[in-house]
Structure 1
Amino acid sequence: MDRGTHTTATALIDAVRERTTAARLAEAAAFVAVGDWAAAHTSDEVVGDPITALGEWHEESYVEALAGDHFLELGGPGAPVVAEFCIGEVAAARGCSFDAARRLVGDAVEVRYRLPRVHARIAAGEVDVWRGRRVAQATRTLTLEAAGFVDRHIAYVAYKATSGDIDRLVAEAAARFDPETTEAERAEADGGRHLTIELSDVGYADPLTGTLRGTVDIHGTLDLADALDLERTVAHVARQLVELGCDQDLDVRRSIALGEIARRCDGVTTLDYATADESAESDQRPIQRARREVVLFVHLDQAAITGTLNGFGPGIDACTGTTGIDLARLDTPGAPRGAVTVEQVQTWCASPDTTVTIRPIIDLNLEDAVNGYTPPDGIADHVRARWPRCVFPYCTRSSRTADLDHCRAYDDNGPRGQTSTTNLFPLCRRHHRMKTHRELRTGRRWTYRPTHPDNGEPPNALIWTSPHGQTYLVDRDGTRPWTPPDET
């Protein structure tokens, strides 16, 4: 390497180092600012105190306080309680979900009030924010004295402490300062059992090739006896599948077996492979099937109705000139949204004992309205298809489980047709409350309205205004901060 090349390489790595340091300091400053923001929205009450005076905090409307903004216990014992709605402002400012902002605010409160030494080192840029948050998440269940013990021992090594180091120190603090709880938790260790089915993780198996995946991951922790029983049953059904003509490898058969077990009811099973009829005949008894119900929301565009794509003929892609793959878009309550092949849907529905309900939505550009307050299923399905997610800034919750909110408040004495596809928008329950009720501190609330394209605003979008005057534009593509055209 010549001298010039060496100088250039040194400058580049120096730039990496400088920018990394700047990013660390900026992240630390933002984390401290979140803690300051939370501190400005606290009550005199602290975690661990009996919180019974909610009406005194919001004397104008005790009922509204119960249903609207209220104080949350985000830190451990001794930390102040924080107003719930102030978290929404943090979520919008950072461009993240409410749940992520709530975790961030909780960690900031824990560090600020219960881990002051760690807080000082984060503020000075000596400890990465993620390390400080890891400590905060581990200490939240400790008593105030135990958290202080951890703070004293971890602060000066927090920049290099591993997760194991933190967990061991927290366990020691719990045993020292709260031995009764530690013993009770040990006796109830089996309470950590769980089974998680990752229904939200359906999508592309290979994002580079666009290969569709119609599978989900499952993980959990079982009681040993339950695990042994499940293993025996899965292995037994996997062997049965071979006898019934399934030629998949063992891993695939085991996954199929779990689905078969799930559909059993009092000994009734859905096993139905190539040799099932032969097996039934040899046993002189039919193989019974449990009923399966499939509800499909079918979204049809012009190409599907006419059988053409942009006039190029049946199934021909105008861009590639080739036959396109047939896809179905999943849009079913309790299931994740996403695309799967039509062939996979056909497989799901192949059983003659499957009840299939198809609910068509033909044209989302048409408007519909009724005179009552509650929308009928057709309008509700239309709105949720148009807006697949909660329309609050940065929220990612499915509209299938969301409330339908009247953007212009419903008036019993108002005009006809107030419940319409143009006046209803999906809001998850938390954000519906935030839109409906006032903040405890400011007395203001979140508001939103449809955009006005005639005024230079994007079409088919919403503009939200926070209690502190921040504005955000929400459309089908997501959320972004919004500045009115006349202010740019």
Structure 2
Amino acid sequence: MDRGTQHTATALIGAVRERTHVARVAEAAAFVAVGDWASAHTSEEVVGDPITALGEWHEESYAEALAGDHFLELGGPGAPVVAEFCIGEIAAARGCSFDAARRLVGDAVELRYRLPRVHARIAAGEVDVWRGRRVAQATRTLTFEGAGFVDRHVAYVAAKATTGDIDRLVAEAAARFDPETTEAERAEADGGRHLTIELGDVGYADPLTGTLRGTVDIHGTLDLADALDLERTVAHVARQLVDLGCDQDLDVRRSMALGEIARRCDGVATLEYDADQPPTQPSTRTRREVVLFVHLDQAATNGTLNGMGPGIDACTGTTGIDLARLDTPGAPRGVVTAEQVQAWCAAPDTTVTIKPIIDLNLDDAVNGYTAPDRIADHVRARWPRCVFPYCTRSSRTADLDHCQAYDDNGPPGQTSTKNLFPLCRRHHRMKTHPERRTGRRWTYRPTNPDHGEPPHAVIWTSPMGLRYLVDPDGTRPWTPPDET
């Protein structure tokens, strides 16, 4: 690419960035204005009051009240009710349907009155409106205290939190601040577990030709621990089928794997796809493995929370459900009740592995290329996400990349917690291979606090020469201090 083309391309990318910023600021200002408009059309009543806003506002009959402007409960408990007709003005001003405007106003009210920290970041242009609205839509059913818990914990990472992150935090808030409902819902979910094999529904793939389908559908709901055991075994047997000569695609092999698992339980040796391979012997029952990643603070280790007695939740000040955090490779992350973990660990043939606490302030290194588990766990604990700009993929499933390329003839200790960073497979490829058009690739390096750069971060440079700073809190465009 010649200098003139490079200048034009840089200008175009610069225009995209500038106009995107302008649009984001304008959208945030419009969203705040919607909240201001709704605030000017509220009642003194709030959602969750024992006296309904409708009955308080109108003394006429219920039917007469419905014929006029009445108040709607658009936010969660503690948010004020909003006059219905004011939404029509918003719909007209934005050129959208009433239902879309009502959802918009509801999100604005939820953020303004129950999620003030997230709302402030939106107003400052630090968080996209759509991200803030996603949080608001998830917290609507929480108590006022539960919404405040989510607001405190998500506000500083709202610009990068994924839907899964928000859902897990909302579930934790519900468990902390409404434990009775949470336990009732968990018990109800346990009662809803089932596995159905539609043996009576063997049909025809094509009713016109009469081709027999010869397959059945299976569907069900499992306990999380059972589902993880099943997934691990199905994946393992599907890989075995490839080794033994089966050339079907992955989905077909996974379906075949269930049959193989069933036959092994009956003591029948199968998997005879390759005549050169000896028949696989029936396997014994696989032991369940529960891996616990322990994260404890000082208050937890001495049995009290903020000076309170054992069993007292520091967030609520009352006795609540004991919670455990899931942070196991291959498993969904989040919180479950301690009682459920006890049930998993108490199952027969269970191996419990407790991982040690990792001190992220200490560094470690080895001389070989491959990182041992202790270093891999350290790097992934330090960087919960892929370190590429704005990527939200979990580091648990990411590759570990040598920032400074590994040299077989180089010095010892190249595989270290200082030189390894998690990159999801797509971004690992983008870092490794150049762009087809420019012949350049993405590069990154750790920051140097001695040069005025923030600590514990990396700086990426795009093929166009644009720079981004990534730290555990997110991503932002980066301009060196000496260039500002």
| TM-score over 0.5 (shorter chain) | no
TM-score range, shorter chain: 0.3 to 0.5
Higher RCO (CA 8 Å, separation ≥ 6 residues) = 1
TM-score (norm 1): 0.44
